[in-house]
Amino acid sequence: MPELTFRNAEEKDVPLILEFIKKLADYEHRLDEVIATEEALKYWIFDKNQAEVIFALEDGKEIGFALYFLSFSTYIGNANLHLEDLFIDPEYRGKGYGTALLKKLAKIVDDNGYGRFEWTCLSWNQPSIDFYISLGAEQKDWNVFHLTGDELKKLAND
């Protein structure tokens, strides 16, 4: 039986992190939106410590990843773990690895006394939504907004 293990990413893993980001973006039909570079990931994840990455490994081979960072809730007055990306290679799905990775992250939340474990999901991804609800997650009624590029510059400088 294959063995599932986890390991924290190191700086030398930046190319692999970018590879998993692109795989996730391709799955989400948004590969054309990925502008991240290895240099940017190295800077923000490892030099500035703005995010962390955990790899899921089957028999020592990286088969998935989770990228997360801390956010803060004013309502509960506590830090939260925000899961930005989670991806398991398609050929390794159906083995419980995604659930195991979520459990690993939930343990980090619990061990550190954070207020909650949160993430977003694309509205069209009903299988994932159903899965998250089956774990006991609540689907909140917030909409997510992004301001980037020229519109961000315009707001910042008007």
Amino acid (1-letter code) at residue 28: E
pLDDT at 141: 86
Rounded Cα distance, 66 and 52, in Å: 8
Positions of the chain with pLDDT under 70 = none
Alpha-carbon distance of 63 to 149, in angstroms, equals: 33
* Alpha carbon distance 121, 145 (integer Å): 13
Confidence (pLDDT) at 117: 97
Annotation says 27 is catalytic:
no
Rounded Cα distance, 118 and 9, in Å: 21
Closest CA to 7 of 101, 119, 131: 101
Report pLDDT for 30: 95
